[in-house]
A and B are shown apart, each in its own frame.
Chain A
Amino acid sequence: MSSVAAAERAPVRARLLGKDDHGPLPRALNSRERAVLLAEVEASGLRGRGGAGFPTAVKLATVARAGNAVVVANGTEGEPASWKDKVLLSSNPHLVVDGAFVAADLVGAREVIFTVGRAHTGVQAHLEHALAERRDHAFDVYLESAPDRFVAGEESALVNWLNGRDARPTIDRPFRKGFGGRPTLVQNVETLANLGLVARYGARWFRDTGTSEEPGTVLVTVHGAVKQPGVVEVELGTPIRDVLQRFGGLTALPQALLIGGYFGTWVRAHDALDLPLTNAALAPLGASLGARTIVVLPQDACGIRESARVARYLARESAGQCGPCVFGLPAMADALERVDVERLRRLAPQVSGRGACAHPTGATRFVASAVDVFSDEIERHRAGRCGGRSHPPVLPVGDSTEWR
C-alpha cells in the first residue's frame, strides 16, 4: 500500500472508535520490514495506554531480542471505574486484533493470547466473533477470560494466571520470564489498537493529533456528575472542561475530579477544569492520567466517604502476598474513615513502595490525595455532618472473590 493511498484512508477524527474500513493489514515478515516498522513505532512516540505509559517501541524491541516470545493482548481491565477497554473491544475489536498481529510480527511470536474480564461475556462475544472473521494468518490465537479482580490485569498477575495459577502478581517480569517461562509481551488493547494504526498510516499521521510530547488520541472513561457517563475518544491536550462536554456536560457543580482511577489522585475541580488533558499539565497538581478514568464528584457528595469506600475495596483486592499491603491497606482504610491524618502520615512510608506490585503504592497515593483535597471536609466528616451522608455512591467497587 503506498503511503499516499494510506494517508487517504487514514481516519481523520475518531481513530479508535470510528467505523473506517482500513483494508488488509500490512505485515512485517522479514527482519528488514520489522526494523523499518519498529523505527516507525519509535518515531510515533506511542506509549502504553494501560496506565503505566511505558514507551511501546522499547518494550517491543526488548521482547523481540529475547526470542521465543508470546504476545498477550490485555483487555482484562480490572479497575471497576474504567470501561475503555471493554468499549474498544466491543465496538472495534478488529483494530485490537490488527495491533496484536503487528506486535506478534515484531517480536517474532506465533501465539497470541487475548484476555478479557470474565463477567463481561458480551465483550468476549464481540472479540470471538472478530477473531473468527480473521482467517488469513498463521498465528495460534487464544481467548481467555480472567477473574474480575483489581490486580488481575497487572502484567505479571495476568501471566501468572495464564500459567495456571492465581491472578496474583509475581516477582518475575513477563518480558523476561512470562507465559510458560518465555519472554512475553503484555500490551493493553488500546495500545495495540494504536500500534495497528501506526503500522498502517505511519508515525507522522499518528503525531498529527495530541501534543508533541504526548501525541495521539486516547480513550477516556468519565462518570459521576456528567449527563452521559461512558467512554469517548479525545485528543491528548484537549482542555478537561471540553472533555467533560463530550459527556453531555456536568449535571451538578463539581467539587473535585478523580483523575487516573483508583491509583490516581483527586484534584480540586477549579484547579483542573481548564487544564489540557496531558500528564505534563497535571504533574504540578501531583496527578497523572493513568488509564484516563475521570470521576466527577458533585458538591453534595462527601469525598472522604467515597474515598474510604474505595480504600476499603482496594484493601480487599490485595493479593495477600506482601505484609505491608495486606496489613497496611486496611489500616489506611480505617484511618481514612476516622480521618486520622496523623496515623495516615505514619502509615504512608510503611506501605508505599513496599509490595511486589504497584497496589500499595497506588492506594497510598489515592488516600493521600483524598486527605489533601478534602481537607475542608475533614472536620465536618468527623462530626458526621458531611454533605454525603445521604448521597448515593459515586465511585463503583467490585465484589468478586475468585483468584482463578
Chain B
Amino acid sequence: MRSLNHPMVWYLLRGSGVVTLLLFTAVVVLGIATTMRWRAGRLPRFVTLGLHRNVSLLAAVFLAIHIATAMLDSYAHVHLLQLFVPASTTRYGLFLGLGALSLDLLLAVMVTSLVRHRLSQRVWKGIHWLGYASWPVAFVHSVGIGTDRHLGWFQVTALACLGLLAATTGWRFASSLRRPFPKYLEARA
C-alpha cells in the first residue's frame, strides 16, 4: 500500500484515535447506564439505550478513520495483518498489538449485536461481556503508543476517560452489592 508522508494524515491518525477513545468511553458508560435503568434527566430510558447504540456506530466510524490513516501513514505504517494479530516484539509493536486485540474484541461485539436475533441470549451476552475487556486494552494501547502521550492535553483527556469509567463501574458494582442482580430473582418470601 502506498504510504503518505502528509502531515494531515498524521494529525488525523492521532486525532481520530483520541476521539475514538472518548466515544468508546461514552459507549461503555451508556451501556452500564442502560443496565442500571438510568435516564438522562426526564428523557425516557430508551434514549440511554439508543445513545449507546448510535454512539457506538459513530465511534466505529472514527475507529475506521484511525485504522485507515494508520495504514496510510508512512511513519505508523501498519500492515493489514497487524490490525488483527498482535505479533511484534518491539515496544511499538506491543502497543500496536494491544490495539489489534481491542479491535478483535470490539468486532466480536459489533458483529454479534448486528445478528443478535439469530443468536441465543447466552452467546450474545457472553460476547458482550468480553467487550468490557476491549476498553482497558484500548486504553493501554492509546497511552502507550501515542506520540502525544507526554502531552498535557492528552493526559488530561485519558485520565478523564479512565475516571469516568472507573466511577461508572464502581457505581454498577456498588449497586449490585446492595441489590444483587442474581440470574434468578429470589423474592423475599
| Contact present between A and B (CB < 8 A) | yes
- Which among A315, A319, A329 is the interface contact of B184 at CB below 8 angstroms? A319
25 contacts between A and B (CB under 8 A): A168-B184, A312-B189, A315-B187, A315-B189, A316-B187, A316-B189, A318-B187, A319-B184, A320-B185, A320-B186, A320-B187, A321-B184, A321-B185, A323-B185, A326-B185, A326-B186, A326-B187, A327-B185, A327-B187, A329-B187, A329-B189, A330-B187, A330-B188, A330-B189, A333-B189
Least CB separation from A328: chain B residue: B187
Chain B 59-94, CB within 8 Å of chain A: the 1/0 string?
Answer: 000000000000000000000000000000000000
List A residues 312-349 near B (Cβ within 8 Å): 312, 315-316, 318-321, 323, 326-327, 329-330, 333
Shortest C-beta distance, A151 to chain B (Å), equals 12
- In the complex, the chain B residue whose C-beta lies closest to that of A319 is B184
Within B39-70, which residues are at the interface with A (CB < 8 Å)? Answer: none
For chain B, residues 105 to 151, give those with C-beta under 8 angstroms from any C-beta of chain A.
Answer: none
Q: How far is the CB of B123 from chain A (nearest CB, A)?
A: 15
Chain B residue with the shortest CB-CB distance to A166: B184
Query: How many Å lie between the Cα of A323 and that of B188 in the bound state?
Result: 13
**Interface size, chain A (Cβ < 8 Å):** 15
Knowing that A321-B184, A326-B186 touch, tell me 10 more A-B residue pairs with CB under 8 angstroms: A166-B184, A315-B187, A319-B184, A320-B184, A320-B186, A320-B187, A326-B185, A329-B187, A330-B187, A333-B189
A48 vs B67: C-alpha distance in the bound complex, in angstroms? 64
Chain A nearest CB from B35 CB (Å) reads: 16
Q: Considering the chains assembled together, what is the distance between the CA atoms of A329 and B189 in angstroms?
A: 8
Minimum CB–CB distance from B9 to chain A (whole Å) comes to 53
A318 to B188, CA, bound (A): 11
Q: How far apart are the CA atoms of A129 and B130 in the complex, in Å?
A: 50
Contacts of B187 in A (CB 8 A): 315-316, 318, 320, 326-327, 329-330
B160-189 CB contacts (< 8 Å) to partner A: 184-189
Task: Give bound CA distance, A330 to B184, whole Å.
Answer: 15
Query: Chain B contacts of A333 at CB under 8 A?
Result: 189
Q: Which 6 pairs from chain A and chain B are nearest by CB?
A: A320-B184, A316-B189, A315-B189, A326-B185, A326-B187, A320-B185
Contacts of A312 in B (CB 8 A): 189
**CA separation between A272 and B184, bound complex, in Å?**
40
Which of chain A's residues have a CB closer than 8 A to the CB of B189? 312, 315-316, 318, 329-330, 333
Shortest Cβ gap from B122 to chain A (Å): 11
* CA gap between A308 and B176 in the complex, in Å: 32
A323 vs B185: C-alpha distance in the bound complex, in angstroms? 8
Closest-CB distance, A359 to chain B (whole angstroms): 12
From residue A226, how far is it (CB to closest CB) to chain B in Å? Answer: 30
Residues in B whose Cβ lies below 8 Å from that of A320: 184-187
CB distance from B188 to the nearest CB of A (A): 6
In residues 152-178 of chain A, which contact B (Cβ within 8 Å)? 166, 168
Cβ-closest chain A residue relative to B183: A320
A327 to B185, CA, bound (A): 9
With both beta carbons as reference points, the residue of chain B lying nearest to A401 in the complex is identified as B186
Q: Determine the chain A residues whose CB is within 8 A of the CB of B184 once the complex forms.
A: 166, 168, 319-321
How far does the alpha carbon of A75 sit from the alpha carbon of B184 in the complex, in Å?
Answer: 26
Residue on B nearest A315 in the bound complex, by CB: B189
Closest Cβ–Cβ distance, residue B185 to chain A (whole Å): 4
CB-CB under 8 A from A321, the residues of chain B are: 184-185
Residue of A nearest to B186 (CB): A320
Q: Mark B12-53, 1 if CB is under 8 A from A, else 0.
A: 000000000000000000000000000000000000000000
Residues of B within 8 A of A168 (CB): 184
Query: Which residue on B lies nearest to A314, using beta carbons?
Result: B189
Most buried by A among B184, B186, B187, B188: B187
Chain B, residue nearest A311 (CB):
B189
Contacts of A315 in B (CB 8 A): 187, 189
B139 to chain A, nearest CB (A): 37
Instruction: Give Cα A313 to B187, complex, Å.
Output: 11
- A51 CB, nearest partner CB in chain B, Å: 23
| Residues of A close to B185: CB separation below 8 A | 320-321, 323, 326-327
**Cα of A164 to Cα of B189 in the assembled complex, Å:** 27
Nearest Cβ in chain A — how far from B127, in angstroms? 20
Q: Chain B contacts of A329 at CB under 8 A? A: 187, 189
Q: Within the complex, what minimum Cβ distance (angstroms) separates A165 from chain B?
A: 11
Q: In the bound complex, what is the Cα–Cα distance between A315 and B186 (angstroms)?
A: 9
- Cα A319 to Cα B189 with chains together (Å): 12
Expressed in whole angstroms, the Cα–Cα distance for A223 and B30 within the complex equals 57
Q: For residue A327, which residues in chain B have a CB less than 8 angstroms away from its CB?
A: 185, 187
Instruction: Give Cα A315 to B185, complex, Å.
Output: 12
How far is it, in angstroms, between the C-alpha of A4 and the C-alpha of B184 when the chains are bound? 57
Most buried by B among A312, A326, A327: A326
Closest to B184 in A: A320
Question: B188 — nearest CB in chain A belongs to which residue?
Answer: A330
